[in-house]
Structure 1
Amino acid sequence: MKYAIITGASRGMGEAIAKRMLEEQIAVVSVSRTENEEIRQLALENGLFYKHYSCNLSLEKEIQEVFMEIAHCIYQKKPNQIYLFNNAGVIEPIETVGNLDQTPIIRNIQVNLIAPILITNIFLNKGSLAGTTVHAINITSGAATRSIEGWSVYCSAKAGLNMFTQTTALELAEMKTNNKIIAFSPGIMDTKMQETIRSSSKGAFKELEKFIDYKEKSKLQKTEVVANALVDLVLNGSAESGKIYHVSDLLN
């Protein structure tokens, strides 16, 4: 049996990934603060394994406890394949350096960078012991390679996630396993994160008008379109471990 573990699955691209994986007859483990009832219902209708776990990804202790429990639950079922989507992310704080508050800085790094590292570490470790193939997919951003005023923390966290992906891929290649890890940049989508960006101030975020324009001129991609492009890549087996993909590469 194949399993997909998806963080941030309650809405946005995480929700779209979960629904597509269920349509592909792949069992889903949803991880987010709140449960998406539509995902649960879809799994029920398809007679597929589904379980939701609530987890605050800004707390290391909670990550360790929840994902060790998930690993124990899944590996008992002797899966032959696990897809790990590190999808959850936060954009805040949107502010210039010198005006940042400590708490959102720490939360951003915890959710965007530390959580994917901890989760990937757990599943690669348990997978090697169980002989299960693990494919990790880290959701990154164009902000990982482009400096954006007001996004210093987010840019830094996503740049770190890219480097973690590439370095882990080198280690996996050395071990000659079937495990893979990739990063995927979804571009600009119509999500809650975009709403947060548009609600920021011009003083904190220089490109505010550009992002308002994206919405007003319908330039935001639908999450289902982006999620389907990613899932197609993952399931067709052509993804190259260590590569950072951009949605535009897959949709063109």
Structure 2
Amino acid sequence: MKYAIITGASKGLGKAITQRLITEGVHVVSVSRTENEELKKLAQEKQVYYNHFPCNLSLENEVQEVFMDIAHYIFQKNPTEILLINNAGVVEPIHKVGCMDPTPITRNIQINLIAPIYISNLFLNKAQHTNTVVQIVNITSGAAVRPIDGWSVYCSSKAGLNMFTQTTALEQAELKTPHLIIAFNPGIMDTDMQAVIRSSSTDAFKELERFKAFKENNQLVQAAVVSNALIDLVLSGDAENGKIYQINELIQK
């Protein structure tokens, strides 16, 4: 039996991913601060197992407690495979270094980098004592490989996530485990994160007008298109361990 755990599942890409997995008959655990009732209703309609665990991923102790509960809950069901999608992310603080408040800096690194590291470590550890295969997908960004004025923290946390993905894949290959970990750059989507970016100021973010133009010119990709490309890859069994996938290469196939 296959289970999927999706962080940030209540909206945006996380919601689209969860909807697709439910329609595929995958048992789903949703993780976010608030539950999306649409997902719960869809799972009931499709007669697919669904459970929601509320969690504020910016709080270290809460992440540890909630995911220990999730791990215990799922592994006792002896799943054949666990699909872990570290999707939750924040772009803030959007400002130049020297002008940022410390609290959003810590929140960004906790959500974008520390939480995925902790969660991945936990599930790979638990899987050592079972026959369960763990497949991890870390949602990254093009900002991980390109410095962007005003996005120093976001660029850094996503770059760290990429390196964590590649290093973990190397380790799992050396250990000859069946586990797999990849990163996926979804590109520029029409989500709440883009709205946050557009609400910033030119003083804080030099490329503001460019990002506003993406919306005005209908250049933002819909989350459902992105989620379908990702889940097609994941369910195909063709994903390459340690690879950082780009949305454009998947859509073109």
Specify if TM > 0.5: yes
Alignment of 1:1-252 (within 5 A): 1-252=1-252
Cα offsets for 1:125-159 (capped at 9, x unmatched): 11121220000000000000000000000000000
Partner amino acid for 1:115? A
Partner amino acid for 1:238? D
Partner amino acid for 1:41? K
The whole-number CA distance in structure 2 between the counterparts of 1:46 and 1:71 is 24
Deviation (angstroms), 1:46: 1.5
Aligned-residue identity in percent: 65
The whole-number CA distance in structure 2 between the counterparts of 1:122 and 1:46 is 30
Other structure's SS at 1:130 match: coil
The whole-number CA distance in structure 1 between the counterparts of 2:175 and 2:214 is 44
The whole-number CA distance in structure 2 between the counterparts of 1:104 and 1:77 is 38
TM-score by length of 1: 0.99
**Runs of 5+ consecutive residues of structure 1 not aligned to the other structure:** none
Q: CA RMSD in A?
A: 0.5
Q: Bigger shift: 55-64 or 26-35?
A: 55-64
Other structure's SS at 1:10 match: coil
TM-score by length of 2: 0.99
Deviation (angstroms), 1:10: 0.1
Cα offsets for 1:186-222 (capped at 9, x unmatched): 0000000000000000000000000000000000000
The whole-number CA distance in structure 1 between the counterparts of 2:48 and 2:76 is 16
Structure 1 runs of 4+ with >4 Å offset: none
Partner amino acid for 1:168? T
Deviation (angstroms), 1:45: 1.1
In the alignment of these two chains, the number of paired residues is 252
